[in-house]
Amino acid sequence: MSPAIEVIHLTKTYKTNHSPAVADLNLTVETGEIFGLLGPNGAGKSTTLECILGTRKADSGTVSVLGLNPKSQRRKLYEEVGVQFQEGSYQDRITVKEICEETECLYKTYDDYRLLLEKFNLSHKLTSPVNELSGGERQRLSIILALIPRPKLVFLDELTTGLDTYARKEVWEILKELKKQGLTIFLTSHFMDEIEILCDRIGILKIGNLIFTGTVEEAKKVSGQESLENAYLWFTGELKEELEHESI
């Protein structure tokens, strides 16, 4: 089976920076897996995601998503892909029902948004204006909108930011069930417990360079750390800084 995402020698440099935002990145995400991309702020996660989706042009390298070129075949690709971004902007006073119906209209095939609202515990907000939802409710709605087109692959950016502990666990269970149904999930997160519970494999970015790919257990083994959090800090060079700070 072909990979869901294949990135080869991807490089992107902005005019304002001397160093590449992403440097010669090679990455493969297998069909049916949950892959987590980690890295400090400014490491290149957003640039990588944008280049994969074709919303930003890379300087060099190739990207294939579901066997399609995200630049030249974007319209066809977006029939198969769902995207949830951390920050979403909506029309003033638009309701949950209206934004879900508008999203449905963009696709030939789609899932019943009412069932998704029920699954994510938002049915009671059907007629509420989106701008009156809490941060956690808006985050759940953004995930629902990404799932409406019945995608083969979904991109989730900081998916449980703003959710309480119970809501986070609910979302995790839903995503694990969707994976069982064949959905491929590419996510970014700063929550190590979330990564450990959900991800089959992870990638760690540092200053535009992909410095590790593998399983959580492999990350712990290579770093010699017992926890994923410390393994992540070891790879990014922050563990030493943290230990030095504690010793002061």
Strand partners, 212: 204
Instruction: Give the pLDDT of residue 86.
Output: 62
Half-sphere exposure of 151 (CA within 13 A, CB side): 31
Residue with tokens 């996660």: 45
pLDDT, tens digit (0-9, with 9 covering 90-100), for 58-98: 999 999 999 999 999 998 999 999 998 765 667 778 999 99
Beta strand pairing status for 81-84 and 153-157?
parallel
Average pLDDT over residues 103-126: 94
Nearest-angstrom CA–CA distance, 91 and 7:
35
Task: Give the SS3 label for residue 163.
Answer: coil
Q: What percent of the chain has pLDDT over 90?
A: 75
Query: Which element (helix H / strand E) includes 202?
Result: strand 201-206
Q: How many CB atoms lie within 10 A of CB 61?
A: 16
Would you call 224 exposed, middle or buried from its count of C-beta atoms within 10 A (0-12, 13-18, 19+)? exposed
Average pLDDT over residues 163-172: 90
Nearest-angstrom CA–CA distance, 42 and 93:
33
Residue with tokens 């800090």: 233
Q: How many CB atoms lie within 10 A of CB 215?
A: 12
Instruction: Give the pLDDT of residue 239.
Output: 76
Q: What percent of the chain has pLDDT over 70?
A: 95
pLDDT, tens digit (0-9, with 9 covering 90-100), for 200-248: 999 999 999 999 999 999 999 999 999 999 999 999 997 765 554 454 4
Instruction: Give the pLDDT of residue 178.
Output: 93
pLDDT, tens digit (0-9, with 9 covering 90-100), for 15-65: 887 789 999 999 999 999 999 999 998 899 999 999 999 999 999 999 999
The separation between CA 205 and the C-alpha centre of its own chain, rounded to angstroms, equals 14
Instruction: Give the pLDDT of residue 85.
Output: 72
Instruction: Give the pLDDT of residue 159.
Output: 81
Instruction: Give the pLDDT of residue 247.
Output: 45
